[in-house]
Structure 1
Amino acid sequence: MEHHLTVARTARYQQLGELSARTKRVWFVCHGYGQLAAYFVRHFAFLVDNCDDTVVIAPEGLSRFYLQGNGGRVGASWMTRDDRLAEIDDHVGFLNQLAGLVLAKCPADVEITVLGFSQGTATVGRWLTRALFRPAHLILCAGGFPEDVAPETARDLLTPLRLSLVIGSNDEYISVAQATEQQQRLAQLGASPHLVPFEGRHELNRAVLESLAV
């Protein structure tokens, strides 16, 4: 008979910029499958260059593994299909604890952007339905809002939210047509998703990120 035991463990995150009373903007950015936060966060360095009022927080998935064989490069994952509900609870708990720590050091009116890339899109979608704050902007890159979120729960989150769906024209995992279908599905839930296509593959695009940071 299977049982579960809740234990304490050490979670890891990366931070660009310094939190202070001057902080006006915080970005929470969640990586995709097989990535590490230390490398992922580099895509957002431009947000804090010569700017002391913006902070980027990049949490890392709780499960790490060798990308090939028994050694070499290491990646992280948010969850798999095995014991998925417990893993979702674990990373939602981690992200809520992290957000509480970060936002306690910011002014009450700090502007929050949440971005998920690839597997991280489902992660941030599920997280925000149980988060203790509401972001100003949700950016889903090369992925989608999780379909297992109840429609009424999704509607409560998405209706008043600025929502951007970013997709590369040659993405290997999700097509522009699929992203368009998702845009239509989210619109039926009361959201106003803005589709942002770009010439590229399954990747983050600097020019697009710069345009969305405005």
Structure 2
Amino acid sequence: MKKSIKFEYEAHYVVSKEPDFREREIWLLFHGYGQLAEFFIRKFQPFFDGNRLFIAPEGTNYAYLKDFQGRVGANWMTRHEREKAIENNHRYLDELMESYLRKFEKKPKIKILGFSQGAATATRWASRWSGQVDSLILWAGGFAHDMQLEDARGKFAQTSLKLVLGTQDELITLESIEKQEELIRSLGKSIEKITFEGGHELDTEILKMMMEVK
């Protein structure tokens, strides 16, 4: 008989600086499969400043990237006990955001960037989070297929949505693009689509353009 038990668990995340809680923007960064938050956030280092707080949560599942030794990567879930991992992710992200937002006198803008597997995790969580998301950027990934559409339509009604894809991204298939198009139509909301010459990666020039949007 398989059972489960809840217990206190410690998860990791990385921030761009020690906050003073006067920042105008919080950027919540979701890494992709097999990445670690401490390395993912470095891609955003050129944009660190006093008005932005970058927070990169780290997936709580870890594995060696090759064989049984060497580099370790994190992921947000696997097919094994997937629903339980999603529930745990939601509780973790809810508490993480609340722990920061409760210290702000003036609410900052909330901007979310999800990369690859992190894009689906970001949309799944943000669509049912109690807070308001000002901007949602899905990079080399897309909306979670099991996202609750009714929740998402209401939650993202006032959210700026962007989809960023590299023209040589070997992990993005025609089938996945068609599925995303169907999801976007179901949301009934326009989404800005941006492409760049590159693969399954972040592009500095596109990021710079994102940071310039107020």
User: Relative to 1, partners in 2 of residues 1:77 and 1:21: Cα closer, same or farther, differing over 3 Å?
Assistant: closer
Q: List gaps (5 residues or longer) in structure 1.
A: none
Instruction: Report the CA distance between 1:21 and its aligned residue.
Output: 3.8
1:97-127 per-residue CA deviation (whole Å, 9 max, x = no partner) reads: 1001121233433111011000001111111
Say yes or no: does 1:211 pair with 2:195. no
Cα drift, residue 178 of structure 1: 4.5
Contact 2:134 2:158 survives alignment (8 Å) = no
Cα RMSD (Å): 1.7
**Cα distance between partner residues in 2 of 1:13 and 1:79:** 16
Structure 2: how far apart are the matches of 1:106 and 1:18? 14
| Equivalent of 2:126 in 128, 131, 135 | 128
Corresponding position of 2:82: 84
- TM superposition shift of 1:159: 2.4
Normalising by structure 1, report the TM-score: 0.93
Structure 2 unaligned segments of length 5 or more: list them. Answer: none
* Partner residue in 2 for 1:192: 190
2:8 matched to which residue of 1?
Answer: 8
Q: Residues 130 and 150 (structure 1 numbering): CA distance in 2 closer, same or farther, change over 3 Å?
A: closer
Shift of residue 175 of structure 1?
4.3
Show the counterpart of 1:108. Answer: 106
Between the aligned partners of 2:111 and 2:187, the Cα distance in structure 1 is 21
Moved over 4 A (4+): 175-178
The number of residue pairs the alignment matches comes to: 212
Show CA shifts across 1:51-98 (max 9, x none).
211110000000111111111101001001111110000011111110
2:22/2:106 contact within 8 Å kept:
no
Identity in percent: 38
SS in 1 for 2:92: helix
| 1:167 and 1:176 in contact (8 A); partners too | no
**Partners of 2:178 and 2:25 in 1: CA distance:** 29
Q: Structure 2 length normalisation: TM-score?
A: 0.93
Amino acid at match of 2:136: L
Write the deviation string for residues 140-160 of structure 1: whole angstroms up to 9, x where unpaired: 000110111222122112222
Measured in 1, the distance between the counterparts of 2:123 and 2:12 equals 20
Distance (Å, rounded) in 1 between the aligned partners of 2:11 and 2:154: 29
Output the CA distance in 1 between the equivalents of 2:83 and 2:97: 21
Structure 2 counterpart of 1:27, which letter?
W
| Worse overlay, 143-152 or 86-95 | 143-152
User: Of the candidates 156, 159, 180, which is equivalent to residue 158 of structure 1?
Assistant: 156
Structure 1 residues 36 and 141: alpha-carbon distance in aligned structure 2, compared to 1, 3 A threshold: same
